[in-house]
Amino acid sequence: MSITTTTHLNFRGNAREALEFYHSVFGGEIMVITYGDFGMPKELPDAGKTVWGQVATDDGFRVMAYDVPSRAGAGIAPLPSTRRENGMTLTSEPFFLSVRGESVEEVGALWEKLADGATVVEAYGPAQWAPAFGMLTDRFGITWILDVAAQHADA
């Protein structure tokens, strides 16, 4: 079994800029995928924002990031927690802890244990970008993302 943990940073519109900065500091590979890449109409304000991004180096440095959708606080009181609304993850938290494994079964076993006493944000199962993905906030208030590594074609 092989798993990794990765800090997942949550930004309000400058995730790409932050990832580019971390890439300039640490080197390695950078990947940025926008909401528009996942099908959000390009005329919507968040289409060019980062839905998922990562900087990873051969020596083990890895950080992930995304832009919280702009509706998640525009003129509204701060969000009380992480939740799903209209197909988007809304949060007021500055980071998630991401656990990535090689198989649906190994990550699913970890999911079952972490889910004890947790609030499920998004149930563990197949996702557009991975063989399996899930998000929960554990009984201690930490939000976890668990997913199965997928091969990505170079863009």
Per the CB < 8 A criterion, the answer to whether 54 and 4 are in contact is no
- What is the rounded end-to-end Cα distance, in angstroms, of the chain? 29
* Entry pTM: 0.65
Question: How crowded is residue 18: how many other Cβ atoms within 10 Å of its Cβ?
Answer: 17
Domain ranges of the chain: 3-148
Question: How crowded is residue 144: how many other Cβ atoms within 10 Å of its Cβ?
Answer: 21
Q: Determine whether domain 3-148 maps to CATH 3.40.50.300.
A: no
**Pairing of β 3-11 and β 133-137:** unpaired
Which two structure tokens, joined as six digits, stand for 76?
């509204």
Say which DSSP state 136 is in. Answer: E
CA–CA separation, 106 and 16 (whole Å): 31
Can you give the pLDDT of all 155 residues of the chain as single tens digits? Answer: 678 888 888 888 999 999 998 999 889 999 999 999 988 899 988 999 999 999 999 988 899 999 988 754 333 344 446 777 777 777 777 778 888 888 999 999 999 998 999 999 999 999 988 999 999 988 877 788 999 988 755 54
